[in-house]
């Protein structure tokens, strides 16, 4: 799994639909997830530390977790099927852990309100992320190609031994 953070909310240039953008720690990959207008407002409100006069839906979820002595351990965006992302809230109450199915947008909105980490399965990142820093990706690939082309069998023997006992 790869830990990601919310980089912000964007609008699709054509459809004007909101997109929550997650980024990895190195800022090399971004995962765009289309969301609804209400979820975009909820996420933006959490990012901007807005406190509504009355609890909104995601605030209510946080209040329920707290009143039941539950902790949101993490959010996991675990799969992508037919252009739909799937997520789970991993909650803990004492020694008991439970996994609760959730839309990624709702899970993210709750995670932001509880300062809980957002994790994404590697397969999902691989299938749906977009490169942010193509130059760095290319430089890394070129450095690896050069390393491999200059690698000699003796280097491996020195590093790992000859394999004979």
Of 154 and 6, more confident: 6
Which CA distances in Å does 6 have to 1, 32, 41, 117?
16, 10, 14, 10
CB–CB of 5/31 below 8 Å? no
Confidence band of 9 (pLDDT split at 50, 70, 90): very high
129 CB contacts (<8 Å, ≥6 apart)? Answer: 29, 30, 31
CATH, residue 60? 3.10.690.10
User: Would you say residue 24 lies in a domain?
Assistant: yes
Residue 149 or 35, more confident: 35
Q: Structure tokens of 42?
A: 């909820």
pTM of the model: 0.78
The total number of structural domains in the chain stands at: 1
| Residue 151 in domain | no
Task: Supply the pLDDT for residue 165.
Answer: 47
Residue 66 lies in a domain: yes
CA nearest 85: which of 127, 131, 38? Answer: 127
| Contact of 92 with 136, CB cutoff 8 Å | no
Domain extent, residue 6, equals 2-133
Flag whether pLDDT at 126 surpasses 80. Answer: yes
Task: Please answer whether residues 62 and 114 qualify as being in contact, where contact means their C-beta atoms are separated by less than 8 angstroms.
Answer: yes
More confident residue, 102 or 163: 102
99, part of any domain: yes
- Stretch 98-116: mean pLDDT, rounded? 97
Residue 157 counted as domain residue: no
Q: Report yes or no on 150 lying in a domain.
A: no
């Amino acid at each position: 799994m790869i830990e990601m953070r919310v980089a912000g909310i964007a609008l699709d240039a054509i459809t004007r639909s909101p997109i929550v953008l997650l980024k990895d720690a190195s800022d090399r990959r971004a995962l765009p997830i289309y969301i609804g207008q209400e979820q975009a407002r909820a996420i933006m409100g959490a990012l901007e530390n807005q406190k509504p006069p009355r609890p909104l839906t995601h605030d209510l979820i946080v209040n329920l977790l707290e009143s039941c002595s539950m902790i949101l351990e993490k959010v996991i965006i675990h799969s992508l099927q037919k252009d739909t992302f799937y997520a789970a809230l991993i909650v803990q109450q004492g020694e008991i852990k439970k996994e609760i199915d959730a839309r990624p947008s709702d899970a993210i909105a709750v995670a932001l309100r509880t300062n809980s980490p957002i994790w994404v399965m590697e397969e999902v990142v691989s299938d749906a992320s977009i490169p942010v820093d193509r130059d760095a990706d290319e430089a890394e690939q070129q450095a690896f190609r050069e390393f491999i082309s200059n690698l000699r069998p003796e280097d491996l023997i020195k590093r790992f031994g000859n394999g004979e006992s």
